[in-house]
């Protein structure tokens, strides 16, 4: 007797709430099925949908070579193997938590300090985001999220927790900055729908915009959540990817200046972007709420960072001279790559939102849309994936309200691959514009023929002295022929 999966498995296992049915993930699958390689597969898909920082690996590799004792898997470090390999408390190694807290302060210009006893570990930012949701909300509760926002938030924050995400629309007219008016409207709409709003979650620096929030905006957000008595979760995983002014301002700095209930303030952090170590799965929840810290530590047993990783990173992050050099050089390399990449796009006639952080650009392809709709955006995206062979992510997968914006990552490849990607983009844009020009030219010729045909018919219907000439006075005295002559002139 056969059973359907829905009859013998859990609702979670058989649901489609994982959010993998998004173009964001479909682009990854297209890359996995046909990955670019400079010699083995030069016509394959180039991965520009993955926000990885691969520009400073050589610096970390050099440090590891110089510090073999930091690893328990080397001849020099094997003496620590037994102590690290046995069971470790889920609070984390004390030296690791101390090093992470110090590093967080360093990234924020030492303008604020962090308490190691508030550092809670998780399996990457993914695990950290889910952990904080489990601590703050019940199934059916909601969090406001400024859009466009990271597509995997739908999975990370909602899939297993049952928490709802309510997008707060931000518009290109003010460079997608969040406004109190939009927040208030989203909050009131939730109340009208009998949805309990438990908080606001935002990424600063923004993914996908690559922008940072100014002090006034951050203060207004703290005031908003304090008045509403809801939580504020700040995802700051791109804090050290700033490559030009303005500098990054952490929410931890703001609460030093604004009076608020600190129990409502929480930070999500990781080493995936700032250090380029996503495979290490180091996620951090830093909360100013004692109960959240205590609960989070208990929950972290389901997603600990391995003791071996903690041990290595504790040594690396404690090396102040290295960290100082790494952060400075990483920022410089990101800035150079951003400059070269965006200039290459401009040469192809493509503009991006002005940004100062992150591993990506918010690319404006609205001029290439055949129609200004999300269907038009998806049509363009399919051409870019299937024909141009670039995995870029459409704005609709980031819940952007305006069709035609795409996120494109620039830090996960070498210089040569980036130049190949730029050539593909420029070639595509050039061909697209040429095709549009040809189509418009055909339309113009057709309109021109019809216009002259109309005029010829009109001329045969009038006596010679009544036929107006193509002049301003003719349009004034013979308004019935205005459209005909405009078509001829245009």
- CATH code at 21-55+330-429: 3.90.1150.10
Q: How confident is the model at residue 6 (pLDDT cuts 50, 70, 90)?
A: low
What Cα–Cα distance (Å) separates residue 452 from each residue in 443, 445, 448, 470?
14, 10, 6, 13
Q: Which tens digits make up the pLDDT trace of 380-417?
A: 999 999 999 999 999 999 999 999 999 999 999 999 99
235 tagged catalytic: yes
Strand spans (E) along 9-66: 46-47
Fold observed for domain 57-323: 3.40.640
251 tagged catalytic: no
178 tagged catalytic: no
Residue 407 CB partners (closer than 8 Å, separation 6+):
49, 208, 360, 361, 362, 363, 392, 393, 395, 398
Task: Check 235, 242, 323, 385 and give the catalytic one.
Answer: 235
Alpha helices in 279-391 (DSSP H): 290-299, 307-317, 320-347, 374-383
Q: So what's the pLDDT on residue 197?
A: 98
Residue 409 CB partners (closer than 8 Å, separation 6+):
47, 48, 49, 50, 51, 52, 359, 360
286, 118 Cβ separation under 8 angstroms: yes
CATH 3.40.640.10 residue ranges in the chain? 57-323
Task: Check 156, 273, 384, 484 and give the catalytic one.
Answer: 273
CATH 3.90.1150.10 residue ranges in the chain? 21-55+330-429
Task: Check 237, 350, 384, 385 and give the catalytic one.
Answer: 237
Q: So what's the pLDDT on residue 88?
A: 73
Q: Which tens digits make up the pLDDT trace of 271-302?
A: 999 999 999 999 999 999 999 999 999 998 88
Q: How confident is the model at residue 4 (pLDDT cuts 50, 70, 90)?
A: low
* DSSP H or E segment with residue 352: strand 351-352
What Cα–Cα distance (Å) separates residue 69 from each residue in 78, 81, 166, 294, 315?
8, 11, 48, 33, 9
Rounded to 5, what percent of the chain is helix, strand, coil? 50, 15, 35
**SS3 call for 422:** helix
Tokens 């055949």, residue?
Answer: 370
Residue 90 burial (10 A CB sphere; 0-12, 13-18, 19+): middle
Segment 124-133 shows an average pLDDT of 96
237 tagged catalytic: yes
Q: Which tens digits make up the pLDDT trace of 58-91?
A: 999 999 999 999 988 888 888 888 888 887 777 8
Quote the CA–CA distance of 207 and 359 in Å, as a whole number.
9
Segment 128-157 shows an average pLDDT of 96
- Going by C-alpha positions, the residue among 471, 476, 473, 466 that lies closest to residue 489 is 471
Alpha helices in 34-139 (DSSP H): 57-66, 81-85, 94-107, 124-136
Angle formed by the axes of helices 482-489 and 415-460, nearest 10°: 140
Quote the CA–CA distance of 400 and 398 in Å, as a whole number.
5
């Amino acid at each position: 007797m056969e059973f359907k999966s829905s009859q013998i498995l859990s609702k979670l296992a058989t649901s489609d709430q994982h959010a993998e049915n998004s173009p964001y993930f479909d682009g990854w699958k297209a890359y996995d099925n046909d990955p670019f390689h400079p010699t083995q597969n030069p016509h394959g898909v180039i991965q520009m949908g993955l926000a990885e920082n691969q520009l400073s690996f050589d610096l970390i590799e050099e440090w590891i070579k110089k510090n073999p004792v930091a690893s328990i898997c080397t001849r020099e470090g094997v003496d620590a193997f037994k102590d690290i390999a046995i069971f470790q408390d889920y609070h984390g190694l004390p030296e690791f938590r101390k090093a992470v807290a110090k590093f967080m302060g360093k990234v924020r210009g030492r303008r604020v300090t962090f308490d190691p006893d508030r550092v809670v570990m998780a399996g990457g930012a993914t695990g950290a985001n889910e952990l904080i949701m489990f601590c703050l909300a019940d199934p059916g509760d909601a969090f406001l999220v400024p859009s466009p926002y990271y597509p995997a938030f739908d999975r990370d924050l909602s899939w297993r927790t049952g928490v709802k995400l309510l997008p707060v629309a931000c518009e290109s007219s003010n460079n997608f900055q969040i406004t109190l008016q939009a927040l208030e409207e989203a909050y009131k709409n939730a109340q009208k729908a009998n949805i309990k709003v438990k908080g606001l979650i935002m990424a600063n620096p923004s993914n996908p915009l690559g922008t940072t929030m100014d002090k006034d905006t951050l203060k207004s957000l703290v005031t908003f959540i304090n008045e509403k008595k809801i939580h504020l979760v700040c995802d700051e995983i791109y804090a050290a990817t700033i490559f030009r002014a303005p500098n990054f301002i952490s929410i931890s700095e703001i609460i030093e200046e604004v009076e608020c209930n600190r129990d409502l303030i929480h930070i999500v952090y990781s080493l995936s972007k700032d250090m380029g170590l996503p495979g290490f799965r180091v996620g951090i929840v830093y909360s100013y709420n004692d109960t959240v810290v205590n609960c989070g530590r208990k929950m972290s047993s389901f997603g600990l960072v391995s003791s071996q990783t903690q041990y290595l990173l504790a040594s690396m992050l404690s090396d102040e001279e290295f960290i100082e050099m790494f952060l400075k050089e990483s920022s410089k390399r990101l800035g150079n790559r951003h400059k070269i990449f965006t200039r290459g796009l401009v040469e192809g006639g493509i503009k991006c939102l002005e940004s100062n952080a992150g591993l990506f650009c918010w690319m404006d392809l609205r001029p290439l849309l055949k129609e200004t709709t999300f269907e038009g955006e998806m049509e363009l995206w399919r051409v870019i994936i299937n024909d141009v062979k670039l995995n870029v992510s459409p704005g609709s997968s980031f819940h952007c309200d305006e069709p035609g914006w795409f996120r494109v990552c620039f830090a996960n490849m070498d210089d040569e691959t980036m130049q190949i990607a730029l050539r593909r983009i420029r070639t595509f844009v050039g061909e697209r514009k040429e095709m549009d020009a040809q189509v418009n030219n055909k339309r113009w010729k057709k309109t021109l023929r019809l216009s002259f045909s109309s005029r010829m018919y009109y001329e045969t219907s009038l006596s010679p002295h009544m036929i107006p000439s193509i002049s301003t006075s003719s349009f004034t005295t013979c308004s019935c022929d205005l459209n005909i002559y405009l078509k001829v002139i245009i």
